[in-house]
Amino acid sequence: MRVLGTYFPNAREGDKEALIRSLRSVRALIADNPQGVALYTDGEVEDMIGTALEAWIDNDHITIEFEVDPSYKEELIKEGYQLSRIKEKIATKTHKCDKCGAVINSGDIYLCGKVFYRKDIKVCKKCDIHWWELSKSRYIQQTQGMMKDIQDFEHIDEIIDGLDELESFITADRKFLNSKIKRQVNNIERCIKELKEIDITNDNWRNEAFKVMEGNLW
C-alpha cells in the first residue's frame, strides 16, 4: 500500500531555492538509505513500517510517497498520511501492461494509477507508476518525465527542443495567459537559456542539465 506524507522545510514563504535544496536533501536520503515510516508512542519510535519511494515539491511543502504495510492503514490515516492514487489491485480479467505490453492475467497483482479526467494507468509489477504521470498538467507530466529520463537523451538539443514544444503546447490557442501559464513559460525560457550555456563537451553534461531543470521547472 502506498501513502503520502508531508514535510514542511524550514524555509521562508516563496523561497523556492530553499525548497529545492530541501527536496535535494530528502531525495539524497531516499537514494542512500530509504527512510522508513515510523509510528510513535510517547515520543519513542514504536515500529518502522515502510520505505520511501519518491519525493516532490507540492506548493509550499514536500510530499513523500511511501510503500507501507497495509495492516497499518488506519493508524497512518490518523497520523495524517494520505492514501496514494497508486494502488495494488488483483486483475479480474486478462489485459496488457500500459507500459511494456506484458500480459497481466486474471488473478495477477498489478499497479493501478487513478488519473483525473483520463483513463487509469495499469501496469505490471515489473513496471512502476510515477506521481507526475497522474497529473492532469501537461507541464508537470513532461518536465518531470524529462528529468526522470535525463540519461536517455543523446544531446542537450533534444531537451531544448522538448521544452520548446512544451511551451508551444501550453500557450497554443490562448489569447491571454493566466499567472500560472506565465510562470510556466518563464520557467521554460529561463531553463532553456541556462541549458544553452552548458559545456556539452563535458561528460557530466546530463547531470548539469538535470540541476538546471530541477532549479527552474518547479
Residues 59 and 5 in one domain: yes
Domain count, the chain: 3
pLDDT tens digit sequence for 95-107 = 999 999 999 999 9
The grid cell for 124 is 505490471
Number of neighbours of residue 201 by Cβ within 10 angstroms = 6
Residues 172 and 200 in one domain: yes
Identify the domain boundary among 93, 118, 135: 135
pLDDT tens digit sequence for 46-96 = 566 778 899 999 988 899 999 988 888 888 888 888 999 999 999 999 999
Q: Residue 198 belongs to what domain range? A: 138-216
Residues 23 and 72 in one domain: yes
Whether 159 and 147 have beta carbons less than 8 Å apart is answered as: no
Phi and psi (nearest 5°) for 85? -85, 5
Identify the domain boundary among 73, 105, 135: 135
The whole-model pTM stands at 0.83
Beta bridge partners of 64: 5, 55
